[in-house]
Amino acid sequence: MISFVLGVEDLADTRFAVSPLQETVLSLRVLRDPGLSALHLPWRRSVLPGLGTLDTELLMSLIGKRHILPDFLTPRPTHFAPAFEDELAVARQASPDLIRRDLLATHAPGPLPEALHDATATDARAVSLCDTICELLGQYWELAIKPMWPQIRLTLEADMTYRARQLAKGGARLLFTDMHPNLRWHDGVLHIDQVVGEHRTTASGRGLLLIPSVFAHKPAPPIDPDDPPVLAYPSRAVATLWAPPSTPDATALAALLGAPRATLLRILEEPLATTEVARRLGVTASAVSQHLRVLYATGLVTRARHGRQVLYRRSSLGDQLADRIPAA
């Protein structure tokens, strides 16, 4: 069991962050051991064929037998949503001693895999190994995580919104009780069960950073008891993340706007005057004007004067809506 002792100031400084590098590193466990989460099998099947050129042996060697990963590859985010490249730059700056410590702790009590032997050699070779690992992680991010990052981030931010509401409703007790069965809040201490290691870390004014993760299968604190309190935890709604997109319904636009306005929005892909729209639809100009006023007021069409006429055209928002749903 690992415990975080949190004072009043630490609770006041409890905050959330998203970490693209951490998601990248944690996803390696799913690649090696698909049994960790059946929910990620669709993602795994889609990613594996594109990894043929990468040194997957080195990537897999980063994972310990107990599914531990080296902490230096998941540095504590310094703000809410750091860029992947910025986090990777921090990881590259790890000292030789930190690289050795974390890799040895990841694989303890067993030996390091052959691919990681340079970590225990000279400082220069340890740093070179770190550079190679970070370069490889950058390539892996581009292939496996970056294409899905917008959807992943939306899932993580939705989780944080929910957690913030739980904190507002029931304080720290409700926040942690609802987060995962392995977490227990009692008398100012957050206890994390079923983790590797056993230590008690006093926050001492450093606060607590919470990082939701779609690839974490259980709460994961740092291995080193001297590190500031950070907790990666499984995000909600992961089951829907890899679901195939729904097939657009051709009748949905009419159901949303009404058939006349949906038809108007479709034909306004080019600038048209009210009289021309009325002619094409076989209705009166006054009827068209009424619907155009509503579409303009909602930002779905724009208008501009051309001589004595006013021309209407779909706005960029209208384009997105019309393009999303095919014509019936």
The DSSP 8-state label assigned to residue 300 in this structure reads S
Residue 6 β-bridge partners: none
Domain CATH number, residue 287: 1.10.10.10
User: Pseudo-torsion of CA 275, 276, 282, 286, nearest 10°?
Assistant: -20
Residues 202 and 313 in one domain: no
Residues 168 and 24 in one domain: yes
For 129-156, letters b (16+ CB in 10 Å) and e give bbeebbebbbebbeebbeebbeebeebb
Identity of the residue numbered 325: I
Residues 160 and 202 in one domain: yes
Residues 72 and 172 in one domain: yes
Helix H or strand E segment including 148: none
Residues 57 and 150 in one domain: yes
- Using the 3D structure, point to which of 205, 240, 275 is the last residue of a domain: 240
The DSSP 8-state label assigned to residue 51 in this structure reads G
Residues 74 and 6 in one domain: yes
Total domains in the fold of the chain: 2
Helices (H), 225-284: 252-257, 259-267, 274-281
Classify 122 as helix, strand or coil: coil
Residues 7 and 132 in one domain: yes
Model confidence at 69: pLDDT above 60: yes
Give me the pLDDT at residue 325, please: 58
In a domain, 246, yes or no: no
Mean of the per-residue pLDDT values for the chain? Answer: 90
Q: Are 80 and 160 a contacting pair, CB within 8 Å?
A: no
pLDDT tens string 298-327: 999 999 887 888 999 999 888 888 776 555
Mean pLDDT of 192-208: 90
Domain hosting residue 145, numbered range = 2-240
Q: What are phi and psi of 125, to 5 degrees?
A: -70, -35
Q: Are 248 and 270 a contacting pair, CB within 8 Å?
A: no
pTM above 0.85, yes or no: no
pLDDT tens string 223-282: 888 889 999 999 998 988 887 765 556 677 777 788 888 888 888 988 899 998 998 888
Q: Are 278 and 286 a contacting pair, CB within 8 Å?
A: no
CA atoms within 13 A on the CB side of 50: 13
Mean pLDDT of 79-94: 96
pLDDT tens string 119-158: 999 999 999 999 999 999 999 999 999 999 999 999 999 9
Mean pLDDT of 203-226: 91
Residues 202 and 88 in one domain: yes
Give me the pLDDT at residue 106, please: 93
Give me the pLDDT at residue 250, please: 60
Cα 328 to Cα 326: distance, rounded to the nearest angstrom: 6
Residues 262 and 236 in one domain: no
Mean pLDDT of 193-204: 88
Residues 273 and 168 in one domain: no
Cα 131 to Cα 261: distance, rounded to the nearest angstrom: 57
**Residue partners of 299: CB distance under 8 A and separation at least 6:** 315, 317, 318
> Cis ω on the peptide bond leading into residue 271 (within 30° of 0)?
no
